[in-house]
Structure 1
């Protein structure tokens, strides 16, 4: 009794059942992964429903071209035959295909690997995460040490980097960031003034909205909001650019030529961001006060002159320079986070995106933690 079943695709399979309990599998046409190759599941059903089947043989006389898609098909067929104790006659396969199939089966997959991969005990997962965070802290400290050595060479005038690169990074971190800082800082000032106005107007103290906006912007909000903006904008850009340079082996090329990547790539970026963050923070403070003035004049009916006089009387050098100091420190953290993630990027295009994401998260988290620490320290020393 002969039974033939055609499974149509770019490549084709025909199954013929002979009277001597033999199943003949004929492979024909081109077999490529980029095309719709026949599924081994249909052939598996044929083998399982074949009854008292002893041998499976192959006929590849009609086969034209093939790649690993055919090997995967035959490997699945072979696994089904072994599961049902069916012998295989591979004499009809081409020599190269037969050798590749034997090579693929030479080291079988470890039993239970797929099913047990995600079943690690809870405490083991916690331990792995703890070890990972510990290694990350060590990696950060190592990078910080190398950066300190590079700064030491800069002080001695021995650091090797192009001054033009420094100017370009300063433009990128400073002038090109003015637009987004303007928008966000103005809106933060408006929000602070509006929140204060809702409460203070109930007590006839609307004029103190100027005090609230002035202190809030100069002491905290100007610095931290600028830091968050630069984390998402500049920190991610640092990580993406350095990560791409690592993927394309440009960093390795610098090392091969005897040029320190820490001095040539990281040092200009850290210097530029540390220099620009106080200026952007000062600009953000001014725009926040303008936003408060907009609410005070437009919503509360205050005169611009009285609002500005109250702002000037509230503004102190302690709050102003405290905020600028915070911004400088935030800039250092953002630059370190971006460059560190870029240098530790993997060697694939997807790893570049992961590095940029990690740089943003890392810099924002460190900035918020530093903001809390600054609040505690400033309170202790009475600032």
Structure 2
């Protein structure tokens, strides 16, 4: 339906449509309190008022009372309010306020955020508004790196060492188990086909190239998305709920430098070693299959693996794996800083961080594979 803009403002935009009005919330509402300039126009006398939060980049506990200051006059005029787009933590008190005064609400079934968060997060992660917010967050990270370069003494090296220990050595067992099983499965599947044409010696080529170039990096990213990405979102999200992030800002401490950069640098330093370890484990996992099932000797397998391996496959695998793990950290930090202000919001932020990291990794894997193959690499 065509929309007509009315009374432009940095945070509030009233849009007129055929069935009523749309109250569009924009930008960061943390610390923002609307005044008379953002009130509903006098023409809003009938129809349904629907809220749109697609361009809302941040909010705090004051969002609900601030919205009620805008919506209360509309409810008193008898207009129906559609609050389904609001986060649950904001929608619940507004519903109570509206229903307590006996004012109408738009009859619309409310979706369960817990039940639809997985699918909606997968779709929302590729929306332009979501990508724009994420790009803005990446820009904030880069600016934080620049500020750190000007004042390197404010960086906490103990936090960096702690993150490196958590992301590196403590992740080795689960990465080893996962990549071993994937390498073993890849050897069995490729061997079943190659043995039909009498070429079991080529199993080593398939396993080596597949693990080094693609699978080791991707599986490491998947494991770290669940283990590290969710943990980062939960940790920073809890600090956001407890207003510890706001306290850091009040003390003059940059939250991006204090919280995000140690995790980003820790992943950047440990990811190449973790991926190289996954490559070795995945290639060696093919030994049981080729020796016990297809009769290839251990020296032949190792010799064919070394012949199939080259520097191009190695650096492409390391590049992809490092890119995937950085996406994990960005997703975790982004969702943590933009989390809501209750316990449910922490769970939702954790889910969104993991799902977004997986969607971004698969998208990056497809795009990078097409690019490298087009370049003949």
So what's the TM-score if we normalise by structure 2? 0.68
Cα 1:310–1:370 shift into 2, 3 Å: same
Contact 2:179–2:281 (CA under 8 A) maintained in structure 1: yes
State the 1:159 CA deviation: 6.7
Give the aligned partner of residue 333 of structure 2. Answer: 339
Corresponding residue to 2:364 among 343, 353, 370: 370
Contact 1:240–1:356 (CA under 8 A) maintained in structure 2: yes
Write the distance in 1 (CA, Å) between the matches of 2:160 and 2:302: 38
Give the aligned partner of residue 156 of structure 2. Answer: 162
Cα 1:243–1:202 shift into 2, 3 Å: same
Corresponding residue to 1:355 among 349, 356, 369: 349
User: Across the two proteins, how many residue pairs are aligned to each other?
Assistant: 271
- For the residue of structure 2 that corresponds to 1:181, the secondary structure is helix
Corresponding residue to 1:151 among 145, 152, 155: 145
State the 1:134 CA deviation: 3.7
Cα 1:274–1:284 shift into 2, 3 Å: same
- For the residue of structure 1 that corresponds to 2:188, the secondary structure is helix
Cα 1:181–1:344 shift into 2, 3 Å: same
Gaps of 5+ in 1: 1-103, 121-125
Matches for 1:35-74 after TM superposition, within 5 Å: none
Write the distance in 2 (CA, Å) between the matches of 1:307 and 1:107: 74
State the 1:112 CA deviation: 5.0
Give the aligned partner of residue 210 of structure 1. Answer: 204
CA deviation map 1:193-226 (0-9, x unaligned): 0001100111110010000000000110010110
Q: Does 1:190 align with 2:181?
A: no
State the 1:133 CA deviation: 3.5
Write the distance in 1 (CA, Å) between the matches of 2:304 and 2:125: 53
Write the distance in 1 (CA, Å) between the matches of 2:182 and 2:239: 36
Matches for 1:246-261 after TM superposition, within 5 Å: 246-261=240-255
- For the residue of structure 1 that corresponds to 2:238, the secondary structure is helix
Write the distance in 2 (CA, Å) between the matches of 1:151 and 1:307: 46
- For the residue of structure 2 that corresponds to 1:172, the secondary structure is helix
Cα 1:381–1:164 shift into 2, 3 Å: same
Corresponding residue to 1:230 among 224, 241, 261: 224
Q: Spell out structure 1 runs of 4+ moving beyond 4 A.
A: 104-107, 129-132
Matches for 1:236-315 after TM superposition, within 5 Å: 236-315=230-309
State the 1:107 CA deviation: 6.1
Cα 1:206–1:348 shift into 2, 3 Å: same
Cα 1:227–1:105 shift into 2, 3 Å: closer
Cα 1:105–1:261 shift into 2, 3 Å: closer
Q: CA RMSD in A?
A: 2.3
State the 1:117 CA deviation: 2.5
- For the residue of structure 2 that corresponds to 1:378, the secondary structure is helix
Write the distance in 1 (CA, Å) between the matches of 2:126 and 2:200: 52
Q: Does 1:108 align with 2:64?
A: no
State the 1:155 CA deviation: 3.7
Contact 1:143–1:340 (CA under 8 A) maintained in structure 2: yes
Give the aligned partner of residue 214 of structure 2. Answer: 220
Write the distance in 2 (CA, Å) between the matches of 1:297 and 1:166: 43
Give the aligned partner of residue 67 of structure 2. Answer: none
So what's the TM-score if we normalise by structure 1? 0.67
Flag the structure with more relative contact order, 1 or 2, with Cα contacts below 8 A and sequence separation at least 6. Answer: 2
